Amino acid sequence: MDYDKYAHEPFAVTVDLAVLTVTEGTLHALLVERGQEPYAGHWALPGGFVHPDESAETAARRELAEETGLSDVSGLHLEQLRTYSEPDRDPRMRVVSVAFAALLPDPPEPHGGSDAAEARWVPYDKAGPLAFDHDRILADAHELVGAKLEYTCLATAFCPPEFTLGELQQVYETVWGTTLDRPNFRRKVLATPGFVEAVPGAARLTGGRGKPAALYRAGPATALHPPLLRPSPEGRPA
Amino acid sequence: MDYDKYAHEPFAVTVDLAVLTVTEGTLHALLVERGQEPYAGHWALPGGFVHPDESAETAARRELAEETGLSDVSGLHLEQLRTYSEPDRDPRMRVVSVAFAALLPDPPEPHGGSDAAEARWVPYDKAGPLAFDHDRILADAHELVGAKLEYTCLATAFCPPEFTLGELQQVYETVWGTTLDRPNFRRKVLATPGFVEAVPGAARLTGGRGKPAALYRAGPATALHPPLLRPSPEGRPA
DNA sequence: CCCTTTATGGTCAGGATGACTAATAGTCCT
DNA sequence: AGGACTATTAGTCATCCTGACCATAAAGGG
């Protein structure tokens, strides 16, 4: 890198967050309503400028805390998605945005943060046309999370500290948009060492009817070997 | 994103390229020798500033062409890796770098490009301490490529337009640092529709001894279902 | 001509997966 | 309280995929 050969144009660097959660069997994204031009009145992904003294990861975590009002953002899963740098993605100036996907277990009531007119959880399908290239960012986040569910233990990031296998399966089904066989899912998860570990105090749960389910915690494993492949819709995704 | 709330500090945005190739059964990376401070005399990944009118992808492709001297960079595989944005990663100023992994079939002789004192192919293992955080970027690129070989058809990007299954297997073995069973590898590859397609003119090849191998081309498939998992070194990667 | 080398073809057992059936243990309704 | 309902948990069975092999074919080199 030769920094002195070209006059380096200044860029603005932002972070955009695709904050995802699973509630009521549906994938939700956290959106904010823009208060100013451009795209005033449109919905957009939360985000903001990277400060001079922080990394993109730090900025993303700060924005996440501001936007969700959560105090403990340190334990949340943050995944760097991709960087979007098309020259015309912001009509006002040259903005390079580092996008992150954040996974939340329980969706807290979003209080329209510092700079957002309003913040709301919106079902993924109904996340209408968003400002800037945020539609694509959100779609990319969905795809990334869906793929990572296959070969990592990421799914537990959508669950509270203690969860049932039914809840874990719900995460897979919701993100993938499919249904899975319950006994098979159970067998697979339990056969993967370190994925989940049973909570010894044979606890129970569920506010509904049916047999109480055993509780599990996220295990130390991060990778899934062999992976848990989502069913191919057709013959083969060629 | 509220662009007017904070005075947005200007950042310099660069691209860094981890250009990888497989030659003589070894993974090689393209490195350039820095001509100026900081890290003068050290080796580094090729890269440079993103121009005001181009995206990071475009900049990466341009730098790749300059650095390798290849005229046809359009067909080469470029994969966005990650963005590195630690505030202190460059001692002089605030630089945010979008890193890419580039995969080459035949390593052309690198002509020390416009701004590089010298450019050279270096075996991956011997890519000593690099400038800035480029050691980590290179390692991340290796890990990404290794993972993508498992569940995508990326391996053909390391091969010339027509190749033998032996060469394809070589790619896997070199990147993963393992050995694979030849008949099993063959069976797996041929059983995946769209991965490779035989060249009808039952051509042959190889400059050495042994039975001539059939030639194949890259197929239309991009994903590998089910994946081609690398052998787990120990019991289970927990 | 024999040996080495590489490619290709095939077998065979074990593991993983998908499709089901059945039993268990609770809540809800009447 | 009893029965209906529901969700969890357990288990079976055939099939596919995989890893570990062995065998054959087609070249080149002594």
Domain boundary among B90, B125, B150: B150
- Say if residue B11's pLDDT is above 60: yes
Protein residue nearest nucleotide C24, by CA to C1': A211
CA of A66 to C1' of D1 (A): 54
B233 part of contact set with chain A, CB < 8 Å: no
A166 part of contact set with chain B, CB < 8 Å: no
Report how far residue A150's alpha carbon sits from residue A224's, in angstroms, rounded to the nearest whole number: 7
In a domain, B101, yes or no: yes
- The residue behind tokens 């650095």 is B67
Residue B212 Cβ < 7 Å to strand D: yes
Q: Are residues B33 and B145 in the same domain?
A: yes
Q: Are residues B49 and B132 in the same domain?
A: yes
Report how far residue A235's alpha carbon sits from residue A220's, in angstroms, rounded to the nearest whole number: 35
In a domain, B237, yes or no: no
Q: Are residues A127 and A41 in the same domain?
A: yes
What pLDDT sits at residue A111? 64
Task: Give the strand pairing for A95-104 and B196-198.
Answer: unpaired
Catalytic residue among A33, A54, A57, A118: A118
Residues 6 or more apart whose Cβ sits within 8 Å of residue A220: A194, B238
Residues 73-92 of B with CB under 8 A from A: 80, 82-83, 85-87, 90, 92
What pLDDT sits at residue A43? 96
B39: left (phi over 0), alpha (psi -120 to 50) or beta: left
What pLDDT sits at residue B202? 62
Expressed as residue numbers, the domain containing B164 is: 153-218
Protein residue nearest nucleotide D29, by CA to C1': B209
Q: Per-residue pLDDT averaged across B130-156, rounded?
A: 97
Residues 173-192 of A with CB under 7 A from strand C: 181, 183-184, 187-188, 191
CA of A174 to C1' of C3 (A): 62
User: Which residues of chain B does A4 touch, with a Cβ-Cβ cutoff of 8 Å?
Assistant: 36
Q: Are A130 and A138 in contact (CB under 8 A)?
A: yes
What pLDDT sits at residue B191? 96
In a domain, B4, yes or no: no
What pLDDT sits at residue B137? 98
Average of per-residue pLDDT values in chain A: 89
Q: Are residues B90 and B195 in the same domain?
A: no
Q: Are residues A135 and A161 in the same domain?
A: no
Protein residue nearest nucleotide D28, by CA to C1': B209
Q: Are residues A40 and A18 in the same domain?
A: yes
Query: In strand C, which positions have an atom below 7 A from any protein CB?
Result: 4-11, 16-22, 24-28
What pLDDT sits at residue B235? 39
- What CATH number corresponds to the domain at position B63? 3.90.79.10
Residue B181 Cβ < 7 Å to strand D: yes
Three-state SS at A62: helix
Tell me how far CA of residue A156 lies from CA of A121, A145, A162, A223, A238, in angstroms: 20, 12, 9, 12, 30
Residues 6 or more apart whose Cβ sits within 8 Å of residue B60: B15, B17, B78, B98, B100, B102
CA of A206 to C1' of D3 (A): 23
Three-state SS at B223: strand
- Which of B6, B17, B83, B192 to mutate against chain A (most A CBs within 10 Å)? B83
Domain boundary among B100, B132, B150: B150
In a domain, B7, yes or no: no
What pLDDT sits at residue B115? 55
- What CATH number corresponds to the domain at position B194? 1.10.10.10
Q: Are residues B43 and B132 in the same domain?
A: yes
Q: What is the pTM of this model?
A: 0.92
What pLDDT sits at residue B67? 82
Q: Are A214 and A165 in contact (CB under 8 A)?
A: yes
Contact A221 B232 (CB under 8 A): no
Q: Which of A57-61, A119-123, A202-206 has the highest mean pLDDT?
A: A57-61
Instruction: Give the amino acid at A117.
Output: A
In a domain, A36, yes or no: yes
CA of B181 to C1' of C16 (A): 20
Q: Are residues B67 and B113 in the same domain?
A: yes
Is the peptide bond between B107 and the residue preceding it cis, with omega within 30 degrees of 0?
no
Q: Are residues A158 and A145 in the same domain?
A: no
In a domain, B140, yes or no: yes
What pLDDT sits at residue B35? 86
pLDDT band at A236 (very low <50, low <70, confident <90, very high): very low
What pLDDT sits at residue B238? 29
Q: Are residues B167 and B92 in the same domain?
A: no
B94 part of contact set with chain A, CB < 8 Å: yes
Residue B183 Cβ < 7 Å to strand D: yes
In a domain, B225, yes or no: no
* DSSP states of B144-188: HHHHHHHHBSGGGGGS-SEE-HHHHHHHHHHHHT----HHHHHHH
Q: Are residues A169 and A110 in the same domain?
A: no
Contact A236 B54 (CB under 8 A): no
- Cα angle value A43/A85/B14 (rounded, 5°): 145
Average of per-residue pLDDT values in chain B: 89
Residues in a beta bridge with A29 = A20, A122
In a domain, B231, yes or no: no
B23 part of contact set with chain A, CB < 8 Å: no
pLDDT digits (tens, 9 = 90+) for B103-138: 999 877 766 555 556 889 999 999 979 999 999 999
Q: Are residues A128 and A36 in the same domain?
A: yes
pLDDT band at A106 (very low <50, low <70, confident <90, very high): confident
pLDDT digits (tens, 9 = 90+) for B164-189: 999 999 999 999 999 999 999 999 99
The domain tally of chain B equals 2
